[in-house]
Structure 1
Amino acid sequence: MCRYPEVRKALPILLATRNNDITVLEALEEGSLKENNFDFSSKIMNEENAHELMDFMIGSGLSKLFTDDRVKNLVDYVLGVEVGLDTNGWKNRGGKQMETVVGVFISNAVRKNPVLEYISEATPSAIKKKFGVDLSVDKSKRRFDFAVFNRELRQLYLIETNFYNGGGSKLKAVCGEFRQLNSQLSAQNIAFLWITDGRGWRTAEYSLNEAYDELDYTANLKMLEDGFLDSIFSRN
């Protein structure tokens, strides 16, 4: 990096983004968030910056593109990324990372409360097997990101997470879908939590406010950092 500092300008496009300023949220074990900012347009390069960029490449999985021979032709790879950025396929690519971050908060909340247990990728059959709760949902293949069960209260909490960098009709559609889902679950005495974040919501604030008013629980990452889950999972 120090020898060829211009290389770092190419890193964002390899990660399918045209933003030169990238902020990475890291969920720490104690239940807080650490914000790491990487400026790929900066002309300043020293040994400390080089180490930070290497940590970024390793943490993002970008280094494996080169060490594992996954990319045979870098030009063709970048061209494919550019095409992908102009399609709808990349709109919610932060969703999996969001799920990982939320998973840390859920794991911490469960660890602190002996009457709680949880599973991820929770299907109706997995929920029945783990918690003994029958669940009727709108889609036969519905999979919730997380399911948390309070054994003392006999209360099931189903959780969906997502993160939106950009706006669009998808945001309004998911609000409507989750409002309907919340109604179905409430009729079965099952609590629904929607944890969402991202600057994309600035373009759909009205739809988000409607969902906030109707859903059992709606939260963002800051609320999780402030202990939102601890209070919800203990509520009768």
Structure 2
Amino acid sequence: MENTKVLVYNKSETTFSFLIDTLKDSIKSWDYFVDWKKVKNNIRDIEIELNILNYLIGKENIKEELTYLLNKHPEVIKAFPYLLASRENKFKILSLDKNDKFDYKIFDFNKKHFDSKDIENIITFIENTQLINIFMDKNIKSLVDYVFGVEVGLDSNGRKNRSGTAMENIVEHFIQRICSKNNYQYIKQATVTKIKEKWNFNVTVDKLERRFDFAINTGSKLFLIETNYYSGGGSKLKATAGEYKTLFDLLEHDGHEFIWITDGKGWLTAKRPLEETFNHNRYILNLKMIELGVLENILKDCK
């Protein structure tokens, strides 16, 4: 197989070398960084309460003012976990009492009505978490702007998930085009039940919760596709390679085709298990191969 002239897939050392040599070191796209829509929606859910809490910024006696605010607008309580970058709204805090015995104190930010004891607990909470300093230090002018920054930071935790779905999204771009061009049908996140109901194919799987990234029906043949991307090494790569050997055997026995689409420089640390599966299975592709039309040719040739 040679560079941009690669159109036909065959089982050879040359093909495997091409697979390894054209692995991508990144599949980040522009939506990798921040899901702005999600951030804005999360802010909108709490914006009114945050604006009410702005009343406390710069006040001299925060405890008295907070007591007044909680009595007048008890709904603001649900905003406090956001100020701590937490998705939880009920906290069980472990502490030691005066006799060095462990004790738990419950702080519930779901409550809608408070008595004096509840308000005392809330004040204890904001003092010990040092939330009280946000209001007293006068460094923050708007809690809405502050939580917007918090949400952007929290959303960075979703980058791993976005990297996981990025591979699926790229592959789906090609699958959509191929299916539209050739009048094929496909299902995303295809379960055995969905495949049976839509196309009446019986599929044997290795585990009950198996959900294929894609299933393609060419009209005469069913193709099941799994995709993944590994930027780094680890034991999971070897385990996945072994898992997909077993899956290939099951699907071949059913008369279906299994295509594994994988990429990422992580495979440079696990070339042997990848090569073993390459030699065992019928099709293992990377993104460069799809770009060069290999997937479309496979679907056409196996009709």
TM-score in same-fold range (> 0.5): yes
Give the distance between the partners of 1:79 and 1:117, measured in 2 at CA: 39
Q: Which has the higher helix share?
A: 2
Alignment of 1:125-144 (within 5 A): 125-144=193-212
Q: What is residue 201 of structure 1 aligned with on the other side?
A: 267
Q: TM-score, normalising length from structure 2?
A: 0.52
Tell me which amino acid in the other structure corresponds to 1:171: L
Shift of 1:158: 0.0
Tell me which amino acid in the other structure corresponds to 1:162: N
Rg (Cα) greater in structure: 2
Which has the higher relative contact order, 1 or 2, with Cα contacts under 8 A spaced 6 or more apart? 2
Percent identity, aligned pairs only, is: 38
Tell me which amino acid in the other structure corresponds to 1:95: G
Give the distance between the partners of 1:213 and 1:187, measured in 2 at CA: 18
Deviation per residue, 1:21-71 (Å, 9 max, x gap): x95555xxxxxxxxxxxxxxxxxxxxxxxxxxxxx4x66434346544556
Distance change in 2, residues 1:140/1:25 (3 Å): same
Q: Which has the higher strand share?
A: 1
Task: State the secondary structure of the residue aligned to 2:179.
Answer: helix
1:219 to 285, 288, 298: 285
Q: TM-score, normalising length from structure 1?
A: 0.66
Give the distance between the partners of 1:149 and 1:166, measured in 2 at CA: 33
Distance change in 2, residues 1:215/1:93 (3 Å): farther
Query: How many equivalent pairs are there?
Result: 177
Distance change in 2, residues 1:128/1:169 (3 Å): same
Alignment of 1:111-150 (within 5 A): 111-114=180-183, 116-150=184-218
1:102 aligns with 2:171: yes
Distance change in 2, residues 1:121/1:78 (3 Å): closer
Task: State the secondary structure of the residue aligned to 2:208.
Answer: coil
Structure 1 gap ranges (5+) = 1-21, 27-55
